[in-house]
Amino acid sequence: MPAPMREIRGLGLGPFGFGGAPLGNLFAAIDEAAAVAAVRRAYEVGLRHFDTAPHYGHGLSEHRMGEALRGKPRDSFVLSTKVGRLLFPDASAPSEQFGFTGTLPFVQRYDYSGDGARRSLEFSLHRLGMARVDIAYVHDCDHDAHGADGPRRFKEAMDGALPELARMKAEGVVSAIGLGVNHWQTCRDALAHGHIDLFLLAGRYTLLDQSALDELLPMCVARGTGIVIGGPYNSGILAIGAKPAATYNYKPATPEMLARVAAIETVCARHRVPLRAAALQFPLAHPAVVAVIPGARTPAEVDDNAALMKHPVPAAFWAELKAEKLLRADAPTP
């Protein structure tokens, strides 16, 4: 395997990290003490890779992450955040924004310029109470966030934010740079604009979606670019199974998707493999993937994720998924 993986810029990323979107009250509010305790519990059980963003609760996730980690030796963990949105105080800001509830009283404005990226990182450091982060990602510069304006925003990010992050990396402000997006095609296109250490790719290389397998992942292996998998549960359905309330890619799951997950659950039952264990462990088999970072809301959820990462999954389970055409035949498996 080329030098990239898990040792990019000497970061030593572990295969299992902590995704900070739930700390911003994604879909439902979390008690402040429970949120901080979840991060501290993650550290206690050995996690050393933590991700957050200004977008998550309009700064709330960064505040909580910083509160939880500030007492830990700074060189003992890897911390990432994102640029591309600036937060501005507004007393009339709605408490529910972009799927987050009970957000802090700020409104966000997209800014993918170089100056915007530097300002964003500085503001994040204030919220975190830290002197540095290890990884900085350009966040959501694709059509999910911008619709028809996506191409313009992508160009703005490639001309502005990404080169500025490269300068900050050269200055030693950050150790690694990349993109945090929901579409593998955006990652592929970004590779033409300079060296990228990492992509944080949400939902596009999972038990349900291997669309990144053909083109992006081989490119990343060849270029020494690592992939961090966010959203390994595809926003919920791979965590709770084929239930009426299940969401897939942040929307209610379609009947077709519910049926597919139900079929996977049948195979899981035959092999006594929890669905969530399969979802967490599957992406790590690909040599481009350096880590998977599920979110957690409570210390109990952290413990549950940690146990699932270690749950035995027999080779016969993966073979049956492929035989039933529930998993691509060419997908590497643990």
Report angle CA 51, 156, 221 to the nearest 5 degrees: 55
Percent of the chain predicted with pLDDT > 70: 97
Task: Tell me which residue of 175, 165, 172, 225 sits closest to 201, measured CA to CA.
Answer: 225
Q: Residue 11's pLDDT band (boundaries 50, 70, 90)?
A: confident
Question: How far out from the chain centre does Cα 221 lie?
Answer: 19
Look at residue 253 and tell me whether its pLDDT is greater than 60: yes
Q: What is the mean pLDDT of residues 61-72?
A: 97
As a three-state string, the secondary structure of 130-158 is: CCCCCEEEEECCCHHHHHHHHHHHHHHHH
Q: Is residue 332 part of a domain?
A: no
Q: How many residues does the chain have?
A: 334
Per-residue pLDDT tens digits for 100-146: 999 999 999 999 999 999 999 999 999 999 999 999 999 999 988 99
Q: pLDDT band at 312, cuts 50/70/90?
A: very high
Distance between CA 121 and CA 222 in Å, rounded?
30
| pLDDT average, residue stretch 301-328 | 97
Model pLDDT, residue 149: 95
Cα Rg for the chain, rounded, in angstroms? 19
- What is the reported pLDDT for 268? 98
Residue 103 domain-assigned?
yes
CB burial class (10 A; 0-12, 13-18, 19+) of residue 97? middle
Whether residue 28 contacts residue 101, with contact meaning beta carbons closer than 8 Å, is answered with yes
Look at residue 8 and tell me whether its pLDDT is greater than 70.
Answer: no
The tens digit of pLDDT for each residue in 133-187 reads 999 999 999 988 999 999 999 999 999 999 999 999 999 999 999 999 999 999 9
- Count the alpha carbons within 13 Å of 90 in the hemisphere toward its beta carbon: 13
Residue 266 domain flag? no
Percent of the chain with pLDDT over 90: 93
Q: What are the pLDDT digits (tens) for 203-239?
A: 999 999 999 999 999 999 999 999 999 999 998 999 9
In a domain, 159, yes or no: yes
- In a domain? residue 248: no
Mean model confidence pLDDT for the chain: 95
Q: State which residues form the domain around 122.
A: 8-240+282-313
Q: Is-contact 295 21, C-beta < 8 A?
A: yes
In a domain, 301, yes or no: yes
**The total number of structural domains that make up the chain:** 1
Tokens encoding 302? 């952290």
Query: Which two three-digit tokens encode residue 14?
Result: 């572990």
Find the mean pLDDT for residues 309-314.
Answer: 97
pLDDT at 7 over 90: no
Q: Give the span between the Cα atoms of 298 and 152, in whole angstroms.
A: 39
pLDDT, mean of residues 69-73: 96
31 pLDDT higher than 90: yes
Q: Which residues participate in catalysis according to the annotation?
A: 51, 56, 82
Within 10 angstroms of residue 171's Cβ, the number of other Cβ atoms is 8
CATH label of the domain that carries residue 159: 3.20.20.100
The backbone torsions φ and ψ at residue 229, rounded to the nearest 5 degrees and listed phi first, read -95, 110
State residue 173's pLDDT score.
93
Does 92 have pLDDT greater than 80? yes
Contacts with 184 (C-beta within 8 Å, 6 or more apart), sequence order: 201, 204, 205, 211, 212, 215, 216
Query: Taking residues 251-277, what's their average pLDDT?
Result: 97
What's the burial of 3, exposed, middle or buried (CB within 10 Å: 0-12/13-18/19+)?
A: exposed
Q: What pLDDT was estimated at residue 252?
A: 94
